[in-house]
Chain A
Amino acid sequence: MLPRGIRRLFRLYRGHGDVEDDVAAEIAFHVETKTKALVAAGMIPAAARDEALRQFGDVKRARRELAAIDHRDTGRRLRADWLEAVWSDLRFAARSLARAPGFTAVVVLTLALGLGATAAMFGVLDRLLLRAPIGISDPGEVVRLYAKEGEPDTRGQRLLGQFLFTEFDFFDQARSAAVAFGFHRAMPVPFDDAAGALDARAELVSATYFQVLGVRPALGRVLLPADDSAGSSPAAVISYALWQGRYGGLTSIVGRVIHVKRRAYTVVGVAPRGFSGLTPQSVDCWLPAGVAVEDVFGPGLRNPHTRYYVFDAVARVRPRFTREQVAGELTLALRRHQALLATGPFSAADPGATVVLGSIVPGRSQVELGRHDDSLSLSLLVAAVALIVCLIAMANVANLLLLRALARRRETGIRIALGVSRWRLLRSVLAESLLLAAVAGAAAAWIASAGGEVLRKLLVQEDWAAPLFGTRVFIFVALTAVVVGTLTGLVPALLGGRPDVLASLRAGVRLSAWRRSRVRGTLMIGQVALTMALLAGLGLFARSLARATQVDFGVDAGHLLVASTAREDPKAPPIDIDALLARVRHIPGVRAATAEEEALPMFSFGVSYLRAEGVASLPNNTSEGGPFYSLIGQDYLDARPDVRPGGVHGACNGCAGKRGDGPPALACWGRAREVPLHHDHPDGQRQAALQQHRGDHRERAAERVGASVDAVLRATGIGPALVGPRHHGAQRKRSRPPRRAADGSAEDDGA
């Protein structure tokens, strides 16, 4: 900065520091001149000075007042100057970028892709790892409950995420916390209302659920404890999306009747926008578990000995209680329940079970459980890739800006020779990079909002209740754009060094541009390193993909048509599947038709066991790879010749050897037909399993399955077996202690 005197001489702008001095000097000049004038008129000097001061008025106050006026004015001028400087920098940057449209387009596109991908992944991870589910008030007080097995099994003690339906009553009596249960994933259910049928996702919740989570309804009320007794008139809460999409947001929805699984529910309220329980996965309606549990699971869940571990549990810590107190109290409740089990016919209790508290952030609870599902690990991976891509893009842009700076050395040299300060130069470079980043940020926001959802669906194969792109993602994009703009501008400006003015003026651009460009080299190396990492990952991924496409799943979906009967008219009688099949078989071109609970043989849900006498049960745990099996019709094997024997090798846990210590498992029916229906267990046991049927077809399906099973067993020589939906089974003996399945699949005795 120039000395004050020189600035004053040239009438350059003056800062706040000058104001007081100027005012003092002005007043002093006035008083002196006046005194002189009075002396000249004949007064003696001392009296003249007094008279001058008297005529002037209060000097101190005047100084203050004048200085205040000038300070305000100076402030205004400085602000105006600053704004004008910024504006002129931006205009200059915009003009010079417009002169290089190719450069601008490349930079904006590069940055927009990098930022857009990063923003989209931020959106995914934000929902999975960073924040509590939407709609929960004071999420800091809410904890997720886990049970820790008391008896360490071979893999050590485990944290288990789900609880029994009957355990709720024990937890509900806690004084230190309010506990709520929610079915751990939304169930696809037939849903009907006056407008027709719909495939809906329902969540079964304890009636304390909404109150414990502190959910404020968008309309009407939430479920209350009174709704949960079996005798109460069934009430339901529907989601905001369903309300808007199906009912046009009409407030008359409250009081309407909907049918879920043939039971009529009165809609009492609408959940807040974006609320989907404890996971981001969308839910259409919430039903009180006490009312709906039989419809969905049959009567078994009310029996404490039925081991359906399907409920997530959360608790809100009450004021003046610590988390340790909550954990202690709930542990006691859990053990009381276990003591009850100990008196039951199977006398299988876990007296050492402990309740552990965890986070309600969806991804964090997975981490706490020590088992990420694929979507979380995949999302983390893709986020890392997006970050690397963003870094590469930044390095690229910094490099391009550096090149541009080098190409403009002559111009810069001239500006420096004219006395433009380094700060001023830096500002114009920054204006350029920030302008680029701002345009790229806008494009990135568009990319993230348009493409983020597509990316998210690839990673997390479920519908989410709330859109990915919201305020938080927008703020993320804006902040990142500013950081990226500053960094990409600063790196070449600061590390590029001050150009040698004389050399650049003399030699012009060409030669001096390529010398001494260490920054360029560094950026290049960084980029190449990151790109190599990405390429290596890509190569590995391509290999895995090639391998994955070669896996023979034993299923050939060609020439196969699948039809679902999930939509039911609640007033019509149940569908007669046999009659339906008979009609389908008469359609020209149909070679064969069969009924099957799930269309593919590798999916199953809620299972029980069929096993040969004297053979230990299979722990059924879908998250550990199976076994998977499905309820099928008698003529299934005729209708599905595509289910090839042995083909399920890779997909079947026991066969695939995915876990060396895993149990041998029955594959699926295709395997069962021609290959013997067993695997040689290390200790020579042979096992077979069959899914328990569920839902409305329970009785008839049992007969059909029984028939198939007999045929299979005869073919494989395993011998007589009992088909075991547990309420059909007679006296059974437990052969192993119960195991909790952390992902909600259940174990039920079948033989």
Chain B
Amino acid sequence: MPKDLDLIRGTLDMLVLKALAWGPRHGYAVTAWIRDTTAEELRVEDAALYASLHRLAAQRWVEAEWGVSENGRKAKYYSLTAAGRGQLRAQTATWARYARAVERVLGTA
């Protein structure tokens, strides 16, 4: 189980980084984007996504700052750092290779 958790966490981190690739977003926007994009197929609690955001911030891949949301409320905005962008690229490449390899194996069966 812990291994699965690691896998899920790593994948979540990747998704969160991707969600921030187009610019700063607050936490709600990140969760909403991921729900929309995956068409709710990924059943993840919002809390897990927030944990991912905070972990990424602690790793300096993401920077957090308080700003004002579109509806005039105080919200915490996250944006990718240069290191975070590099991390996203690397993780995407790794994921793609991995997915291709798995697909090849399953395709031959």
Contact = CB atoms under 8 A, between A and B. Distances in A.
A8 B50 CA distance: 21
B76 A22 contact: yes
Nearest to A61: B47
A55 interface: yes
B83 interface: no
Interface in B48-98: 48, 50-51, 54-55, 57-58, 65-66, 69, 71, 73-76
Contacts of B65: 11
A12 to B, nearest CB: 12
Given A57-B46, A69-B54, A73-B57, A25 B31 contact: no
A14 to B, nearest CB: 10
A32 B45 CA distance: 16
13 contacts: A26-B50, A29-B73, A29-B76, A32-B73, A34-B32, A36-B71, A56-B46, A57-B45, A58-B45, A59-B47, A62-B47, A69-B51, A76-B58
Given A33-B69, A73-B57, A56 B47 contact: yes
Given A26-B27, A33-B69, A57 B58 contact: no
Given A26-B27, A29-B73, A56-B46, A37 B54 contact: no
Contacts of A33: 28, 69, 71, 73
Contact of B45 (A36, A55, A72, A76): A55
A29 B26 contact: yes
A29 B58 contact: no
Nearest to B56: A69
A4 to B, nearest CB: 12
Contact of A34 (B28, B48, B54): B28
Contacts, number: 66
B96 to A, nearest CB: 29
B58 A26 contact: no
Nearest to B43: A55
Interface residues of B, number: 23
Contacts of B51: 62, 65-66, 69
Contacts of A62: 47, 50-51
Given A22-B76, A70-B58, A29 B69 contact: yes
A413 B51 CA distance: 47
A5 B82 CA distance: 28
B55 A30 contact: no
Contact of B76 (A26, A34, A57, A73): A26
A61 to B, nearest CB: 7
A49 to B, nearest CB: 14
B27, B45, B46, B65: most-surrounded residue (chain A CB, <10 A): B46
Contacts of A72: 58
Contacts of A58: 45, 47
B55 A57 contact: no
Contacts of B58: 69-70, 72-73, 76
Interface of B: 26-28, 31-32, 45-48, 50-51, 54-55, 57-58, 65-66, 69, 71, 73-76
Contacts of B76: 22, 25-26, 29
A37 to B, nearest CB: 7
A11 to B, nearest CB: 6
Nearest to A26: B76
Nearest to B44: A57
Nearest to A34: B28
A731 B62 CA distance: 107
Contacts of B45: 55-58
A109 interface: no
A584 interface: no
Interface string A361-380: 00000000000000000000
A360 to B, nearest CB: 59
A57 B28 contact: no
A27 interface: yes
Contact of A25 (B55, B57, B74): B74
Interface in A46-91: 55-59, 61-62, 65-66, 69-70, 72-73, 76
Given A29-B28, A34-B28, A55 B54 contact: no
A434 B66 CA distance: 40
Given A26-B75, A69-B51, 20 more contacts: A22-B76, A29-B28, A29-B69, A30-B28, A30-B46, A30-B50, A32-B73, A33-B69, A33-B73, A34-B28, A34-B32, A37-B32, A56-B46, A57-B47, A62-B50, A62-B51, A65-B47, A66-B51, A73-B58, A76-B58
Nearest to B63: A11
B31 A30 contact: yes
Contacts of A65: 47, 51
A37 B28 CA distance: 11
A72 B48 CA distance: 18
Contact of A30 (B27, B54, B66): B27
Nearest to A11: B65
Contacts of A36: 71
Contacts of A59: 47
Closest 3 CB pairs of A and B: A57-B45, A57-B47, A62-B47
B54 A70 contact: yes
Nearest to A32: B73
Nearest to A56: B46
Contacts of A25: 74, 76
Contacts of A11: 65
Contacts of A32: 73
A33 B29 CA distance: 9
A36 B26 CA distance: 16
A565 to B, nearest CB: 83
A126 B103 CA distance: 78
A266 to B, nearest CB: 67
A27 B76 CA distance: 10
Nearest to B57: A73
A63 to B, nearest CB: 9
Contacts of A55: 45-46
A455 B92 CA distance: 72
Contacts of B32: 34, 37
Interface string A1-45: 000000010010000000000100111011011101100000000
B47 to A, nearest CB: 4
A61 B45 CA distance: 12
Contact of A27 (B48, B50, B71): B50
B32, B54, B57: most-surrounded residue (chain A CB, <10 A): B54
Contacts of B54: 66, 69-70, 73
A62 B54 CA distance: 11
Interface string A472-511: 0000000000000000000000000000000000000000
Contacts of A61: 47
B79 to A, nearest CB: 13
A485 B106 CA distance: 71
Contacts of B69: 29, 33
